Amino acid sequence: MTETNKAHSDQLDDVKRWTAKRKSAVVLDLIKGKTTATDVARKHDLTVAEVEGWLERFLASGEAPEDPADLPRSRY
């Protein structure tokens, strides 16, 4: 484990409140394959469903709308 990863891991060890920034950091680690939802849940006394929900919401926020009418119109 690199020093940067260890520092990041140490920060998450002391989490008392799950801010959007902290959840995003966990989700990025999930996406990169650095950890699993089960490991995160076990380590932080969460449910796997909670962690997977963060991942699902993160991924959904990056999806394009299915209907082109839902896309923002250009101002130019």
For 10-33, write each residue's pLDDT tens digit: 555 566 789 999 999 999 999 999
Contacts of 68 (CB under 8 A, 6+ apart): none
DSSP conformation class of 68: G
Separation between Cα atoms, residue 12 and residue 44, nearest integer Å: 9
Q: Is the pTM of this model over 0.85?
A: no
- What pLDDT, in 10s, does the model give residues 35-58? 999 999 999 999 999 999 999 999
- What pLDDT, in 10s, does the model give residues 55-76? 999 998 887 656 666 656 665 5
pLDDT, position 2: 54
Instruction: Give Dmax (Cα) for the chain.
Output: 50
Separation between Cα atoms, residue 20 and residue 71, nearest integer Å: 25
Of 2, 59, 11, nearest to 34 (Cα)? 2
pLDDT, position 37: 97
